[in-house]
Every structure is written in structure tokens, then in C-alpha cells.
Amino acid sequence: MVLVGGGSVTRAMRGAGDTGAGPVISPPSAAVAPREPGAPREPGAPRDPGAPRAPTPSAPRAPTPRASPVAARTTPTTADTNAMGTSHLSPALARALTAATVAARRDGVRIRVISGYRTAAHQQQLYEQAIRTYGSARLARRWVLPPAESAHVRGTAVDVGPRSAAAWLQAHGDTWGLCRRYDNEWWHFEVATAPGTHCPARAPHA
């Protein structure tokens, strides 16, 4: 067999009586044209084993959620964070009031410090104002003591509100040693007993 122009020519030996017709030419076989590396392949076409395989894109990975930082709190949620208004109070009072504030919040009660530590100068102003209001030092001191006698100046007393919060603290404060001190001041509390023991009897006034 001899290849001619991409086709095959078969020279058949004719028997006697051959008419001398020309050679039989078989149609050229289909050839696969080489594909240029990287060129797209037609659908269904066989892949050239030597052609580079296109990388399969991987699916994007979802980001791993991270815990958001805790925002700064303005009211305590644990006894490790002092309640507002406890600055400059004695450590014992600050701890007791903070623990009480946390417990009160669990009961739906918000204890607010109306007045805590006072400087001697500020206490003196309040005392003089009370003298003008009540007309004498004897009557004024039932409500406001002079600086040398004031538990606020020592950092061992707080005035709390609203009245519902003071009522809660009066009922539960002895758990932390907090006690209402005077009959005429529903808002005034001090550490006056050991935690878990009964509060002492209240005085009628300061």
C-alpha cells in the first residue's frame, strides 16, 4: 500500500481479463487537528492527553465567626465591676453595694446612688444650707451632719434611690451587711453589720 496525498492507494492485482482500470483510492481517514495548549475544547470533543488540565476553581470558604468584644458597661453585671457612684467609698461599702446592685437587677430593681462620697467642703455647704432651711444647727443636724461627723465624708455611707430601690435594699441589704440607719432618711445606707446577720435598730435621726 502506498500513501498518496493523505489517502491510501491499493493496487489490486487484477486477474486475467482485467480491463486495466485505475487504482482504487480509499477516502482519507479523519485526523484530529492538534489543539493549541490552553485553547477551549469543543463540547464532547476528546481531550488531548498532552494538553494541560485547567485548574478547578475552589468554592470560597465562609469566614469563621468571631466573638465580638464586649462593650463597656455603665452598670455592673458581676460583683467584679463596681457599681456607679461607688468611687472613693470604702472598699467594704463599694463591694457590698455592688453585689447588692447586681442582685437587685436580677429582681428587676435598679439601685441608683444619689449621693456617695462627699468632700469636707461640699458637706460644709450642705450643712450651712440646712441651718438656713431649718433655722438652727440643732434641727439641721437631724438631716445633715457637719463634715467632722459625716459618714459621707468618710466614704462609709450612700444615699440611694428611687424609693422602690431603697425599699428593696432595706429588705435584702443585710445579706451584704448594708443597713438603713435612720428612721427619717429612707435613702441612707451604711455597712453596719456582718454579711448575713440582722441590722441593728435604726436611730430616729442622725
- Give the strand order in the sheet containing 112-115: 112-115, 157-161, 185-191, 178-182
Per mean pLDDT, which of 5-19, 48-62, 71-85, 156-170 is the most reliable? 156-170
Q: How big is the chain by its Cα radius of gyration, in Å? A: 49
pLDDT tens digits for range 160-182: 999 999 999 999 999 999 999 99
Tens of pLDDT, residue by residue over 180-193, are: 999 999 999 999 99
79 within 8 A of 102, measured Cβ to Cβ: yes
Q: Where do the structural domains in the chain lie, given as residue ranges? A: 76-116+155-206, 118-154
Q: Which fold has domain 76-116+155-206?
A: Muramoyl-pentapeptide Carboxypeptidase; domain 2 (3.30.1380)
70 grid coordinates: 464586649
For residues 183 and 192, give the distance between their C-alpha atoms in angstroms, rounded to a whole number.
Answer: 15
> What pTM value is reported for the model?
0.61
pLDDT tens for residues 96-149?
Answer: 999 999 999 999 999 999 999 999 999 999 999 999 999 999 999 999 999 999
- Alpha-helix residue ranges (DSSP H) falling in the chain: 91-106, 120-134, 137-140, 151-154, 163-172
Task: Measure Cα distances from 189 to 34, 149, 204 in Å.
Answer: 96, 16, 14
Quote the CA–CA distance of 96 and 178 in Å, as a whole number.
7
Using DSSP, state whether 149 is helix, strand or coil.
helix
Torsion angles phi and psi, residue 32, rounded to 5: -85, 115
Which pLDDT score is estimated for 8? 42
How much of the chain, in percent, has pLDDT values that exceed 90? 58
Buried b (16+ CB within 10 A) or exposed e, 34-60: ebeeeeeeeeeeeeeeeeeeeeeeeee
C-alpha cell belonging to residue 180: 438603713
Instruction: Return d(Cα 98, Cα 133) in angstroms, integer.
Output: 34
